[in-house]
Structure 1
């Protein structure tokens, strides 16, 4: 069902007084100097219901973005790189932990430009780096993004993702020697404690193999199915 975002009052540069990396309340209109020329741009976000798109405007520039059929709650202003004079705009789409996206835009004085998407703006301290958390069922995946020389936000790839949760084995299962060799390096005893240290992405989105430390100090790999079905105590939401 399509929803109409409520109108919010015009705000000014007070949007930028909150410390970077801390949550701001989204708004539908503001006046901010985005490109560092000393002149404030009138910024607005509206909802084009027939086209299922949001319309972001800064000065005379306009850019459109698709949604999931729901109006975004507004936009926020961030400063991704305190070494320049520019500010960036962020529009959030999606309704759940799994489909939310932060759409980032820059204004060069003439046009608005899409510079990238991230799952969440968990931390952005003005050093050109964004740390972004996304929930993966029982752990937060933390991705790193950085502004490149072209001013685009690009992901910094990781081979493994830190997990750092503990659980108790309720049904014995083996740990594989490696991600490609399923030979058991250990068989976890019922009632023993394990630490899930890291996750390695598989081909399908949201699927991983997990590096697990046994109570005897051995390391091996387990599937998400084994961890969620044969252990207890994982911090599963709900």
Structure 2
């Protein structure tokens, strides 16, 4: 049976690898404002400097480094449906201090659009997906472009997907809710569990509550310390 060409093309698009920003460089050129003329783009930064200087054409802007090393700039296209392209200043050598500051250029001035942790996926559909390593899972944040306001706005999530499996090495309870400590189940030693999702404890607490599925199909919550102390098999890494 022959598969229609359009079907094959659609499957190829669905299987396309995630788009990412190019490796950062100290200088480059690109047409950012859609006038058909490329602008010279460069970033200047010295070891230990608290600020960097980004230049696009005749426009200049200063940004804070927050003690992170500036790696360079990359050109991205947040929305393939408009005439604009954007430039990102990439900072940090580890996941802990990594940050990208995205700027737009309107032909006259540079405008800071937003500052995602990383440019994990930029597909040209007005959305940036940004991953942060959280010890044994990646926290994925979404940012949406508001072209009218020239802003890249975070899209809040109540829960973050985790999707990890572990083995219980010492029994511990899972509870009904993050504010309801009624015990749903005591996880059996040697049983397999799935860590499905994570919810931030609070704005001043870096820990998370984790939604766990037991080997018997029950759902309940536990704190990260329980997973670290009482399970094995999670891909913990600094």
Fold conserved (TM > 0.5)?
A: yes
Aligned counterparts of 2:22 and 2:183: Cα–Cα separation in 1? 49
In structure 1, the partner of 2:234 is 234
Contact 1:175–1:221 (CA<8 Å) still a contact in 2?
A: yes
TM-score (norm: length of structure 2): 0.88
Contact 2:24–2:90 (CA<8 Å) still a contact in 1?
A: no
Q: Secondary structure at the match of 1:74?
A: strand
> What per-residue deviation string (whole Å, max 9, x for no partner) do you get for residues 21-59 of structure 1?
234221111121110011111111111557521110001
TM-align CA RMSD: 1.6
Aligned counterparts of 1:30 and 1:121: Cα–Cα separation in 2? 18
TM-score (norm: length of structure 1): 0.88
**Displacement of 1:71:** 3.9
Q: Secondary structure at the match of 1:226?
A: helix
**Displacement of 1:156:** 0.7
Range with bigger deviation, 223-232 or 85-94:
85-94
For these two proteins, the number of residue pairs brought into alignment is: 220
Contact 1:79–1:88 (CA<8 Å) still a contact in 2?
A: yes
Unpaired segments ≥5 residues, structure 1:
1-18
Task: Output aligned runs, 1:1-238, within 5 Å.
Answer: 21-48=19-46, 51-148=49-146, 149-203=148-202, 204=204, 206-237=206-237
Range with bigger deviation, 120-129 or 91-100:
91-100
Aligned counterparts of 1:205 and 1:109: Cα–Cα separation in 2? 42
Structure 1 residues 49 and 135: CA distance shift in structure 2, 3 A: closer
> What per-residue deviation string (whole Å, max 9, x for no partner) do you get for residues 55-111 of structure 1?
100011001111144541110000000011111001112232122111000101111
In structure 2, the partner of 1:4 is none
Q: Secondary structure at the match of 1:196?
A: strand
> What per-residue deviation string (whole Å, max 9, x for no partner) do you get for residues 102-157 of structure 1?
10001011111111000111111000001111000000001111001312001111
Aligned counterparts of 1:127 and 1:156: Cα–Cα separation in 2? 15
Q: Secondary structure at the match of 1:228?
A: helix
In structure 2, the partner of 1:10 is none
Aligned counterparts of 2:220 and 2:47: Cα–Cα separation in 1? 51
Aligned counterparts of 2:142 and 2:58: Cα–Cα separation in 1? 33
Structure 1 residues 50 and 158: CA distance shift in structure 2, 3 A: closer
**Displacement of 1:174:** 0.3
Structure 1 residues 60 and 205: CA distance shift in structure 2, 3 A: farther
